[in-house]
Amino acid sequence: MSDPARTLAGLPVWDGTAARGVATVTWSAGRIDDVTASEASVLADEYSVIPGLIDTHVHLDSSAGSAPTDWATWPIITPAAEKSLHVVAHAAAAARAGVTTLRDLAGSEVQLAAARGLDDRLVPGPRLRVYGTVGMTAGHGDLFTPPHYPHRAPTADSPDECRKLVRQWARQGVHGIKIHLSGGVLSMGDGVGWRNQTDAEIATTIDEAHALGMLVAAHTHSVEGVDRALAHGVDSIEHGTGILERHWAELAERRIPVAPTLLINDRIAAREIPVTDEAADKAKGVVAERDERFVGAARAGVRFVLGTDANGVMVRFGDQHEELRHMQALFGWTAEQAMIAATSDAADAIGMPSLGRIARGAEADLVVVKGRPWERLEDLTSDSIVAVVSRGETIFGALPELTPTQGASK
């Protein structure tokens, strides 16, 4: 059964890179058929069309329920099948904010089950990209789980184990691999400056992931982690606290995307959410080092993309708009630069250039929004989202009735 053709006629279109003026967008079978200049509709002053937003760094397996839970305990006591329902609920919350693609960087069967259900349109929702982690014993990813707990996520402690774990993830159907090149803020008992993995382990992991057609995202807060990310050829840098001036030129020239995850570290550092003293102290250190380095990096052309680390608790699904405004302010960006970081640049960062764009042949992931967020980022709020289309289907709101300003529609 093929989908009927759909149309948005006569609204201002911002295509993921630039404003296209008033146009008509048509799509069928999940793909955009055409974008053509057209007469304005009566709603052209009020509404516009932008590509669906892409968050390149999230964690979906936390409680989406209303009952208060401890974020660290919940993943340990909740069965996998139940977690998948929470993943879908978080994804739906993101969709209501116009986010049509989420990349989960610590996935498992939980996120994969949800991703396949959403792709199959069992419930309306965005696209999920799911990455499997390859990390060491006592590394960042291993320190969310108490040492005596038996049902741990897998770890890998030699080049051979890394290669095998990449292959096991590939068999499970993940879309990419996440590695850790330093300790983290929320992992318990490490320092953000701890080295994670040896050079041989990193090189082997990246070699195997690339051989099996997967991108590698690298978590790092340390300077050494950035050095090693560049030396080994990762495909994106997550957090990037250790980015120094000497890294700027290479990062910019190779257009390696960096997800700055600003809001989450600010909130943990300021204790806006309940966290341990350990996490708050680590986040304070990260924030103190980060801002000045990032301002210079942005000016030097380092490609920062929308990546929030949203986990539904410290950064909620829907906070992507606030993260973008934070990026705009810190980097001295125009509204349009922030929108590019959340659409076409974010799509390229996750290896899916057919997303984040409104163009013939691109995926039909569209948002009808009140206002013109590429001119005024303040226009991008949850209240301003009118309709969200993913894979050609409306997953939130309703497409507006559009009549031409002159004469009757034909």
Site membership for Zn ion, residue 104 (CB under 5 A): no
One-letter amino acid identity for 78? Answer: T
Candidate segments 73-81, 155-163, 295-303, 307-315, binder of Zn ion by CB under 5 A = 307-315
CA distance 238 to 161: 23
Q: Which is nearer to Zn ion, 71 or 123 (CB)?
A: 71
**Residue whose CB is less far from Zn ion, 185 or 369:** 185
Residue nearest to Zn ion (CB): 309
Tell me the per-residue interface mask from 202 to 241 with Zn ion, x by CB under 5 A, - otherwise.
----------------------------------------
* 39 versus 272: smaller Cβ distance to Zn ion: 272
Q: Which of 61, 208, 309, 348 binds Zn ion (CB under 5 A)?
A: 309
CA–CA gap between residue 256 and residue 83 (Å, rounded): 33
Least gap, CB of 309 to Zn ion (angstroms)? 4
How far apart are CB 123 and Zn ion at their closest, in Å? 25
HEC string for 196-238? CCCHHHHHHHHHHHHHCCCEEEEEECCHHHHHHHHHHCCCEEE
Identify which of 12, 11, 35, 15 has the alpha carbon closest to the alpha carbon of residue 340.
15
C-alpha of 341 from chain center: 11
Query: Could you say which residues in the range 137-196 bind Zn ion, by CB under 5 A?
Result: none
Provide the residue type at 306 as one letter.
L
Helix, strand, or coil (residue 404):
strand
Q: How far is the CB of 311 from Zn ion (least distance, A)?
A: 8
Instruction: Classify strands 99-104 and 53-58 as parallel, antiparallel or unpaired.
Output: parallel
Under the criterion CB under 5 A, does residue 61 sit at the interface with Zn ion? Answer: no
Residue 302 contacts residue 251 (beta carbons within 8 Å): yes
Interface mask toward Zn ion for 265-304; x: CB under 5 A: ----------------------------------------
CB of 217 to Zn ion, least distance (A): 9
Token pair recorded at residue 3: 């989908």
| Distances 394 to 318, 397, 400 between C-alpha atoms, Å | 18, 7, 11
Nearer CB in complex with Zn ion: 25/310:
310
Of 72-80, 152-160, 250-258, 309-317, which segment contacts Zn ion by CB under 5 A? 309-317
In the chain, count H helices and then E strands.
12, 14
Is residue 323 a contact point for Zn ion (CB under 5 A)?
A: no
Least separation in angstroms between CB 378 and Zn ion: 27
Residues at the site binding Zn ion, with contacts judged by CB under 5 A: 309
